[in-house]
Chains A and B, each alone.
Chain A
């Protein structure tokens, strides 16, 4: 049973054309994360939501935005994709019980920028 769902699995966009990636979860977890993972590299955290509180990483470009309209859904918006933004984008969730908690990842969306 899928717990963290990402759509689409593959996304092709043109240079500069805005794109939105979607993540949903059935775990009712408090925290949702977005990571960028380039080929043969470790995932890099872009930002995360703890409930409705947004936490941006200091080195995340302004080109990347996120929305979390409710507990289940979180979106990653790339306002003007560049060639360097081509990557796998991973969504993850965790409960956040006050202790560091396991993060569960979705299958990822592979973004291609033409």
Chain B
């Protein structure tokens, strides 16, 4: 079946460095993608989203890149801070009335002080 997966289940990054979290998806019909951050014991928190008519979108310290050709999504976090330590999930869905999000496996990001 369709799935959204991540290449790396864990990632450790030195504080202040940049981090990149990757996500592969297989549903070519997906046209809306979201990155969520989930801290321990909390619900997922929206970070940034991107629609398929875009290749790149920037937020505060975060950038999402979308490569539809190879069905790849990435989240770049600049100048990482200890508070960035969390599990990051990508999620995908199809436009026009399909409310169902399909989540990827998740990547645990640990920021090393």
Contact = CB atoms under 8 A, between A and B. Distances in A.
A94 interface: yes
A100 B95 CA distance: 5
A107 interface: yes
B97 interface: yes
B42 interface: yes
B61 interface: no
A102 B34 contact: yes
Interface in A26-65: 31, 33, 40-45, 48, 50, 55
Contacts of B45: 105
Interface string A1-24: 000101000000000000000000
What secondary structure prevails in chain B residues at the interface with A?
A: loop
Contact of A43 (B44, B93, B95, B99): B44
Contacts of A84: none
A106 B43 contact: yes
Tier of interface size on chain B: 20 to 34
A45 B44 CA distance: 13
Contacts of B97: 96, 98
B44 A105 contact: yes
B7 to A, nearest CB: 15
A73 interface: no
A4 B46 CA distance: 13
Interface of B: 31-32, 34, 36, 41-46, 49, 89, 93-101, 103-106
Interface of A: 4, 6, 31, 33, 40-45, 48, 50, 55, 90, 92, 94, 96, 98-108, 110
21 contacts: A31-B99, A42-B89, A42-B105, A43-B44, A45-B101, A48-B99, A94-B99, A96-B97, A99-B32, A99-B95, A99-B96, A100-B95, A100-B98, A102-B34, A102-B46, A103-B101, A105-B46, A106-B43, A107-B42, A108-B42, A110-B41
